[in-house]
Every structure is written in C-alpha cells, then in structure tokens.
C-alpha cells in the first residue's frame, strides 16, 4: 500500500544534535493524534548536506524542503501539509510560496552538485536494507558474482579511473590488482573510516546515510581479489555511524548478502568492525593496520606495501569510505560513464565538508573540475556576515591555503597540488579577514605535533621546533632569521619523515608563507597582527569621536580597565586590559578599535 506523503527527516549527526530525533517522533505522534498515521510514512534518513539550515525535513511527493524545523512544528506540518495539502511557508527554505524554485535541485546550494557517493543520503532509510535494494542496491554485487570475472572488475575500475579519495589519489584498480596477484592463502579487505581531519565529516555522513554502499563495495572487492574477510576501521567518536553499520551488517547477513555462500554463489565473505581510538596518524595505512592488530598505531616503513604484505602479514586492500562508495555505481553504470565525469586528471566527483566562515556550511559533492569559486560563492553562498574572503584551506593539517587569485583553479588532484595545497580527504575550511594566517598555521602545527606518534625524529622534533618559532612570532618576538629557519626545518621534515603525517606537516606553514609573506612580516617587523587575532600584538582603543559615553563597555569590562564620565568619551587603560574583546562586542557604535 502506498502512502499519501513520505516525510524524510535528516538523521545525520549535525541535525540529530539539533533534536531531529525528537522531530521524527513528534511527527509520528502527531500523525497518530490527528488520525492520519495510515497516510504518512515518516522516515529517518542520512545527511541532506545542507547542515547550515538543519534540522531538515523533506516531504514527498511535493518535494517541500523545510529547514530549521523544531519538534513543536510537527503539529502544523501534519495539520497543514499532510491533511490540508498546504505547504507551511514559514518553514520553507526561502520562506515564500514555491514559485521561485519548484524542485529542491533549484535551491542554489544544490544546483552545481552531483551526487554519486551521497546518492542515497537523505533519500533512503539507512537502517532499512529494502530501501537500499530498491535503489539498485546489491545489483552490482550480483553482477560481479554471476556475470563478471575478477579481471573484468579490475578492468572496469581501470576504465573508470577511480583514484583513492583518502587524500593520496592512488589508482584504486592498481591496489586491487596488486593484492589480487599477491601470493597468499589469505587476504584482507579494509575500509579506512578513521576520519581524523578536524572539520571534515564526509565519511561519517556517508556511513550514517548509506552504510550498505560500503558493505557492497567491500564484498565486491573481496570476491575480486580472493579475500574472505573484511574490516571496517572506524573512529569510536562516531557512535551513530557505528550503530548504522552494525544494523546494516546484520540485515545483510539475514538476506544472504554477507556470510557463507553469498546469494548461492559459493562465495564466503564477512565483515567485522574495529574501533579506532582517536589517533590521527592511524589514517596512515600502515599505522591503521597496526591499530587493527591491537598495537600502538605507529607507521611502518614501506615497502612492503599493504597490497603485498601487511595485515597479519597478509596482502591487504585498503580504501577510504568515499572510494568504496563509488564502486557499486561504477559496476552498475560502467567505467566509461564514470570517466566521462570530471577532468582528464581526476574522474568522478569529490565530497567536501564546507565549513568555517561561510554562509552555507554543509556537505557538498561536486564533479571534479568544479572551481573553488563555484563552491565558495555559488554553493556556499559566500562569506558570512559580509566579511571579506581571505583563503580556503583544503587538505586539513596536511594541506595548504588557497587565495583569491587561485579561486578559479578547477579542483582535481593535480590542480590543487600545483597551487601548493592538496585534495586531502575533503575538508574545506573558509577563512575571512578576521582570521590570522600565522595563527591558523600554528593551529594546524599544534595539531600535528600533538598527533605525531613520535617514532621518527624529523617529525617529532621538527614539528615542535616549528611550533615554537610560530609561537614566538605570534607573541611579537619574531626575528628576521625565523623565516629561513622555518624553511630549513620544513625541508628536513619533508624529506626525512617516515610517513605522510610528518612529510606534510609543514605544508600549512609553507603555503601561508608563500601566499601571505606580508602578514608574517607584519608580525615579525612591525610587531602587529593585521587581523587582530594575536593578543600579544594588539591593543584596544576607544575612538573618542565615535564614543558617546554610554558606559556599556565599562560595565561589561571584567577587569575594570575602562574609565570615563557618563556622556563623555571613555578610555581603556592598556596596562590593565586583558584584551578579552568584550568591550568591542558590547559597543553599538563601533567606537572600539583594534590597533
């Protein structure tokens, strides 16, 4: 039996944090109370991507896109939309009757996106295998088991030109092929879901919204390379994703899609979850495998490469979540289809977590070759609060900054590398004029220093030394020779570190030095922080021509540094001021300036 309306409620971590679970239950309760529970089906889906506007509720078949919904709104949604067939205008994205945009796709945030990896996120119930199957799920596995030879699968991936989405961009078919050809009675398949880049959540959202797409792909790989066992290594910090994976694995076993004799093909294959425990370095393949084995996650020298010999000494294919999520689509639609999307260098799409000082924070998936300008301005809606764009950081703590002049660079693996950054796993952090580039570089370095496993000296000592220099610069104690020293240490780290964590750790500093040399000079020479972030280098002053003497700031000042008579300009005592900025936030007249 069909329903009159299907109500999709976003069940991603972002929206759940804004009480979407309560909305889900309120909608069910209201439908019951108003006597229409036989007419509507309420479904909790994965992430819609438009996190800025969450929690999101979409009602089908009208495709009404409701944003910032509260549990209290459930009553009105059922009474108006479901029963009377009238949209609740005040909750619609553009708050207007739907003329301006007829379909969700017409919302600017979605216009330039193409969803392959996130195809099912926000449209199916991730805890119901039937919905995945209805969306062509497990069709690719069936094709691989009964119609294709293992070499055909590898050939299809080769035609597709799929490259690893974890950051390095290594061709996926080659990894599979190496492992397939490697000698060994036992082989393993591993999914790297240890998403460690702070400010990135592509993999988490994929697993929360469409866990079967990863299970299906891992099973396809197992059959192709001759493995019978897979592991998903996932951050313990992702409880919802872990739960959805567990549910998905259980359902897949019940349907004969995992376990013994899959679909009667005689092929045995099963998957286990292994929890990470908060170590960024475990995103590095060899460290991750150490961690699965239950050890400290220390990277190992390569060769031997994982494809030949690693997990318990056996050949292992290891791919990132987003890479896996592409595989079934490639098998279904063909490698040529996939290769037709994107640029010559990089095929397909890439998912980014667009965050920072941007109007529309969220999860976006775009074809390779889309420019950063399109992502920041068309999809992201530009910089929040009318501020000026400063830079975008891609590649997280291993990447670099991209400035205005390079915003028209088409995004692909080679293009980003050329301008001193990298694709990385998909974090995309937007900075505005208030962000100090030296401070941000320091932030990333602090992160990598904290996460360095300490095994090799260039990373352990080099990172700390770089950090100390940056600290000195932001304290106003920088010297001319510091820049040269930064470059020397960075060079040593790049060539001397064992793994990518150490080799790429200097990137944020080097790229910000390359694009913002004047900002480093301002800190070092003039002892000034142009964006007013480095507290040691700024002072707060009251502009007497703007101050009307309302005393609001002096009442808020926690240390009593502001004095003056009522209705006369006030003054800040610089010796007492702790530079907390409360006065500036309080002043309605813009009289408080940073110098």
Partner 1 sequence: MAQNIFSDELNAFISEWKGKPGNLIMILHRVQEEFGYVSREAAEEVSKQLGIPMASIWGVLTFYHFFKLNKPGKYNIQVCLGTACYLKGGDMIVEELGKEIGVEVGGLTEDGKFSLEAVRCVGCCGLAPVMTISGEVFGKVTKDQIHGILDKFA
Return phi, psi of residue 134, to 5°.
-65, -25
User: Which x/- pattern over 177-196 shows residues binding partner 1 (rule: CB under 8 A)?
Assistant: -------------------x
Residue 235 near residue 278, CB atoms below 8 Å: yes
245 Cβ contact list (under 8 Å, min separation 6)? 207, 211, 214, 215, 232, 234, 273
In the set 3, 4, 6, 18, which binds partner 1 (CB under 8 A)?
Answer: 18
357 binds partner 1 per the rule CB under 8 A: yes
The separation between CA 139 and the C-alpha centre of its own chain, rounded to angstroms, equals: 28
52 binds partner 1 per the rule CB under 8 A: yes
Q: How far is the CB of 300 from partner 1 (least distance, A)?
A: 15
In the set 190, 353, 402, 542, which binds partner 1 (CB under 8 A)?
Answer: 353
Taking the C-alpha atoms of residue 27 and residue 75, their distance in angstroms, rounded to an integer, is 7
Residue 209 near residue 120, CB atoms below 8 Å: yes
**17 or 573: whose CB is closer to partner 1?**
17
Q: How far is the CB of 294 from partner 1 (least distance, A)?
A: 4
The two beta strands, 40-45 and 57-60, are unpaired
In the set 26, 316, 355, 512, which binds partner 1 (CB under 8 A)?
Answer: 355
Q: Which stretch binds partner 1 (CB under 8 A): 98-106, 209-217, 353-361, 540-548?
A: 353-361
State the burial class of residue 46 (Cβ atoms within 10 Å of its Cβ: 0-12, 13-18, 19+).
buried
Return phi, psi of residue 462, to 5°.
-60, -45
Taking the C-alpha atoms of residue 312 and residue 594, their distance in angstroms, rounded to an integer, is 58
Applying CB under 8 A, the site for partner 1 has a residue count of 50
Sign of CA dihedral 321, 327, 332, 337: positive
Q: Which stretch binds partner 1 (CB under 8 A): 10-18, 147-155, 254-262, 511-519?
A: 10-18
173 binds partner 1 per the rule CB under 8 A: no
In the set 127, 322, 435, 519, which binds partner 1 (CB under 8 A)?
Answer: 435
Residue ranges in 198-237 that form contacts with partner 1 under rule CB under 8 A: 198-201, 204, 236-237
The separation between CA 259 and the C-alpha centre of its own chain, rounded to angstroms, equals: 32
388 binds partner 1 per the rule CB under 8 A: no
Which residue from 345, 351, 300 is spatially nearest to 322, judged by alpha carbons? 351
**13 or 329: whose CB is closer to partner 1?**
13
441 binds partner 1 per the rule CB under 8 A: no
377 binds partner 1 per the rule CB under 8 A: no
Helices (H), 92-149: 108-111, 129-134, 139-146
In the set 209, 427, 506, 532, which binds partner 1 (CB under 8 A)?
Answer: 427
Neighbours of 275 (CB within 10 A): 16
279 binds partner 1 per the rule CB under 8 A: yes
Q: Which stretch binds partner 1 (CB under 8 A): 28-36, 163-171, 292-300, 313-321?
A: 292-300
Q: How far is the CB of 166 from partner 1 (least distance, A)?
A: 17
Q: Is the peptide bond before 55 cis (omega within 30 degrees of 0)?
A: yes
User: Which x/- pattern over 442-461 shows residues binding partner 1 (rule: CB under 8 A)?
Assistant: -xx--x-----x--------
13 binds partner 1 per the rule CB under 8 A: yes
3-state helix, strand, coil in the chain (%, to 5): 45, 15, 40
**20 or 172: whose CB is closer to partner 1?**
20
277 binds partner 1 per the rule CB under 8 A: yes
Q: How far is CA 446 from CA 118, 532, 567, in A?
A: 32, 20, 46
Q: How far is the CB of 205 from partner 1 (least distance, A)?
A: 9
Taking the C-alpha atoms of residue 89 and residue 44, their distance in angstroms, rounded to an integer, is 22
Q: Which stretch binds partner 1 (CB under 8 A): 11-19, 315-323, 333-341, 545-553?
A: 11-19
Q: How far is the CB of 52 from partner 1 (least distance, A)?
A: 5
In the set 61, 294, 301, 303, which binds partner 1 (CB under 8 A)?
Answer: 294
User: Across the strands, what pairs with 275?
Assistant: 234
Taking the C-alpha atoms of residue 202 and residue 526, their distance in angstroms, rounded to an integer, is 41
**107 or 582: whose CB is closer to partner 1?**
582
Classify 452 as helix, strand or coil: coil
336: left (phi over 0), alpha (psi -120 to 50) or beta: alpha
Which uninterrupted H or E stretch holds 492? helix 481-496
Residue ranges in 103-162 that form contacts with partner 1 under rule CB under 8 A: none
Classify 261 as helix, strand or coil: coil
475 binds partner 1 per the rule CB under 8 A: no
The site for partner 1 (CB under 8 A) is made up of 13-14, 17-18, 51-52, 54, 196-201, 204, 236-238, 274-280, 291-297, 312, 353, 355-357, 361-362, 393, 396, 427, 429, 431, 435, 440, 443-444, 447, 453, 582
């Amino acid at each position: 039996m069909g329903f009159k309306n299907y109500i999709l409620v976003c069940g991603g971590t972002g929206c759940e944090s804004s009480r979407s679970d309560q909305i889900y239950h309120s909608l069910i309760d209201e439908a019951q109370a108003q006597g229409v529970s036989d007419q509507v089906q309420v479904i909790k889906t994965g992430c819609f991507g438009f996190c800025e506007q969450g929690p999101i509720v979409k009602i089908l078949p009208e495709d009404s896109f409701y944003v910032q919904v509260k549990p209290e709104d459930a009553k009105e949604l059922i009474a108006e939309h479901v029963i009377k067939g009238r949209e609740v205008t005040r909750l619609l994205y553009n708050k207007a009757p739907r003329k301006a945009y007829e379909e969700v796709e017409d919302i600017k945030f979605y216009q330039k996106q193409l969803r392959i990896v996130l195809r099912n996120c926000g449209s199916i119930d991730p805890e119901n295998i039937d919905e995945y199957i209805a969306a062509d799920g497990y069709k690719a596995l069936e094709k691989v088991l009964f119609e294709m030879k293992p070499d055909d699968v590898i050939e299809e991936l080769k035609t597709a030109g799929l490259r690893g989405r974890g950051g390095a961009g290594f061709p996926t078919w080659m990894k599979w092929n190496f492992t397939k050809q490697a000698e060994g009675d036992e082989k393993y398949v591993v999914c790297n879901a240890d998403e460690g880049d702070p400010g990135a959540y592509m993999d988490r959202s994929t697993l929360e919204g469409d866990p079967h797409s990863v299970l299906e792909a891992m099973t396809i790989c197992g059959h192709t390379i001759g493995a019978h066992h897979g592991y998903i290594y996932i951050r313990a910090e992702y409880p919802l994703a872990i739960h959805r994976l567990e549910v998905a694995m259980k359902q897949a076993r019940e349907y004969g899609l995992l376990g013994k004799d899959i679909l009667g093909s005689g092929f045995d294959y099963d998957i286990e979850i292994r929890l990470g425990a908060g170590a960024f370095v475990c995103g590095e393949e060899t460290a991750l495998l150490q961690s699965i084995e239950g050890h400290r996650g220390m990277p190992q020298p390569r060769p031997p490469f994982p494809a030949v010999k690693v997990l318990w000494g056996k050949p292992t294919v290891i791919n990132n979540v987003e890479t896996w999520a592409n595989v079934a689509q490639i098998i279904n639609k063909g490698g040529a289809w996939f290769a037709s999307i994107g640029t010559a260098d990089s095929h397909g799409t890439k998912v980014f977590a667009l965050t920072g000082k941007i109007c529309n924070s969220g999860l976006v998936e775009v074809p390779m070759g889309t420019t950063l300008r399109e992502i920041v301005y068309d999809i992201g809606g530009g910089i929040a609060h009318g501020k000026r764009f400063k830079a975008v950081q891609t590649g997280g703590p291993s990447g670099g900054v991209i400035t205005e002049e390079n915003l028209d660079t088409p995004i692909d693996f080679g293009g980003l590398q050329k301008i001193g950054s990298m694709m990385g796993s998909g974090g995309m952090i937007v900075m505005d004029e208030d962000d100090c580039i030296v401070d941000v570089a320091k932030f990333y370095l602090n992160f990598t220093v904290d996460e360095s496993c300490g095994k090799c000296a260039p990373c352990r000592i080099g990172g700390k030394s770089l950090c100390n220099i940056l600290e000195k610069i932001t304290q106003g104690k920088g010297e001319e020779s510091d820049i040269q020293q930064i470059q020397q240490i960075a060079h040593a780290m790049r060539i001397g570190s064992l793994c990518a964590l150490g080799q790429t750790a200097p990137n944020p500093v080097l790229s910000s030095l390359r694009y913002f040399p004047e900002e480093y000079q301002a800190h070092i020479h003039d002892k000034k922080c142009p964006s007013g972030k480095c507290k040691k280098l700024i002072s707060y002053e009251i502009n007497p021509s703007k101050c009307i003497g309302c005393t609001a700031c002096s009442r808020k000042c926690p240390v009593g540094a502001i004095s003056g008579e009522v209705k006369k300009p006030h003054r800040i005592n610089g010796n007492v001021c702790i530079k907390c900025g409360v006065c500036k936030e309080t002043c309605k007249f813009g009289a408080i300036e940073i110098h």
